[in-house]
Amino acid sequence: MSQKGISFRLNSHITTIAIVIIAAIVYLNYHFSKKILEGKIEEGAINQSNLVISSISRITVATEEIAKNVSSQALYFNKQNDLDFFMNQVLVSNEILESIHIELIDDQQKTIKMFSANKQGQHICSPSSLSTRQNILKIKSENYALKKGIWSEPFYCSDDTSHLIVSYLMPIYFPDNKEIAGIVSCEISLQQMQRMLSEIKIGESGYAFIIDKSGSIITHPKNDWILTKNIFEKPSHIFSDGIQIIESEIRNSGRGAGHGISEYLNNQKSWFYYAPLSNPKWSVIIVIPERELFKEIGVVFQIILMVSGIGILILFLVNMFVFRRLLDPLARITDAIQSFTSVAGKEKKSKNEIKMLAESLEDWQAKYGVLIDEQTKTASEKLKFEKDLKSAREIQQNIIPSGYPAFPEHSEIDLYAILKPAELVGGDLYDYFFIDNEHILFAIGDVSGKGIPASLFMAIASTLIRSNSKALSSKEIIEGINNELGDRNPNQYFLTLFIGILDINTGIMDYCNAAHDYPYILHPDGTVQTLSKSHGIPLGIYKNKIYKSNTVELQYGDLILFYTDGVINSRDSGGTHYGIDKLKSNIQRMTDLSAKEVVTNLLQNIMTYEDESHQSDDISLMALKFLIETKNQA
């Protein structure tokens, strides 16, 4: 057997084994790298969908909040003949709205008044009838307890058929019962949403669109498909397999991912991800071509194949060289016997393809580490937010005065107050302090809404009460606060506020009530007097509004009780409100109690009434008992 034959056969066996091993390594690397990449893609798509959802939610949540604010104030402004002005002011202050419509209805669900406001130069677009029996029954049965409205189906403007609109319908309730007094409709443009989606970069040619629960396309880069195509129809323009499962998940607000064919991208194989939106019953779908997703791994795989081929060739040549060196004695014998001359092998430099694979895996590991760091950072930011929210609660509690007795040096003034927000922070406020040696100022108010925005508005109002208190006139203080709030109120928050200034020498209280709940005076004989004078609308809506004031003279032993509407709006497990009558009845039994005992007993009574029901609004109570014999009374 010749030297060449032995070397070739040994080399062939070893090279074959090496090819199998390297092929297995390349396959495993490609397989697991693809799995890792798909995981990263899905996580990236989730982040992308969260960005889309967040952007759309800013519009829908803001629309719902505006509709709630308008519905809570519509009856009042209609009574003042200012409803058209109020609607136009809201429209000017909120660029996301296309138009606002209000219908006031009677008990037979017939429209008795209609109001409309739209952007200048645009068509007025609204659903054909806001107060249809179907809308009213749906709102009554589903949304009264949650104080929510309903989203309409998308519709084209009758005067501009290229303009696709969606409307949020919010009921207007009579203050004293659950009956619907009217409906507010706030319209937003789906074209605006599509423009927003088109500005979000999704790879090189990826795109996002919105569908409703029935699968109809609401927004899409291809305008001809809007409201004309349904992704659940067969054949689907994106889903290839498992369409029934996907349809079920989307209808049930599920989320998921898969592979399909995108008709919009010229029938390219594509990867898709779907997720529900939080407010309307819609879902967002993100589509990315597979060639973009696996472009990098394809390039890496080609490089690995090329390097592996070169490595196998080099391995073969090196083995030939080594074997020939090992078999050199046999070659010399053969040369001696056959008088042949030994031929030296050709030496080649080797490339370490295993090291190259390890570096590739290390690169993916580094990217995975970056993702873990980002997730850790998100969790840390969430903890920081919760900590900041607790700090905001502590700051809010420090803004309002506390302690009992309120004025240790004035035992003749018995005053106690308490605030119980529905959330960690709230929009109720109260304050009391001596302006000078003879005059006490006490105030109680309620900011529209709850949560952090209301608490910030409350903090501003509390500061303004103190900064305007030198006037010694309740109406001038109210007017000053109203003017300053009007300068810093782009979101149309408002504040109901009662301010009283008590002269402790005469017992005369000058007071101004800006649409706040009427206080009660409990006389020693058990009779209850209502301070039923209201001197103007809530603060922060109209600047330079003129307010009036009244006076009342307190007698020895009189107790005056102030409260916010969270007291009378408290509900039991059956949804029945605590109400004014129950509050007055409980007050009448407290003639011999101190201010603290009155407030504490009332709060306990309210908590017992609510039982396991969730507190829906902030609760504030303040009681002042007048224990001074004035000169007039003597």
DSSP β-bridge partners for residue 432:
442
Domain ranges (residues) in the chain:
60-189, 201-293, 400-626
- The pLDDT tens digits of the residues spanning 605-617 come to 999 898 877 877 8
- Is the model's pLDDT at 31 over the cut of 50? yes
Q: Which residue has the higher pLDDT, 114 or 305?
A: 114
CA distance 620 to 428: 7
Torsion (CA) 517, 522, 528, 530 in degrees, nearest 10 = -30
CA distance 387 to 390: 5
CA distance 185 to 64: 10
- Is the model's pLDDT at 561 over the cut of 90? yes
Architecture of domain 60-189: 2-Layer Sandwich (3.30)
pLDDT number for residue 5: 57
Which option is the CATH number for 201-293: 3.40.640.10, 3.30.450.20, 3.60.15.10, 3.10.450.50? 3.30.450.20
- Pairing between strand 282-289 and 268-276? antiparallel
- The pLDDT tens digits of the residues spanning 318-330 come to 776 776 666 555 5
Q: Which of 321, 327, 315, 326 is nearest to 2 (CA)?
A: 327
- Is the model's pLDDT at 356 over the cut of 70? no
pLDDT band at 344 (very low <50, low <70, confident <90, very high): very low
60-189 and 400-626, same CATH topology? no
pLDDT band at 517 (very low <50, low <70, confident <90, very high): very high
pLDDT number for residue 417: 94
DSSP annotation of 499 reads E
- Is the model's pLDDT at 351 over the cut of 50? no
pLDDT number for residue 523: 94
pLDDT band at 47 (very low <50, low <70, confident <90, very high): confident
Residues 347-356: what's their mean pLDDT? 39
pLDDT number for residue 140: 58
Indicate the average pLDDT of the chain. Answer: 79
Residue 146 region, left (φ>0) first, then alpha (ψ -120 to 50), else beta?
Answer: alpha
- The pLDDT tens digits of the residues spanning 470-482 come to 888 999 999 999 9
pLDDT band at 212 (very low <50, low <70, confident <90, very high): confident
- The superfamily CATH assigns to domain 400-626 is PPM-type phosphatase domain (3.60.40.10)
pTM confidence score? 0.43
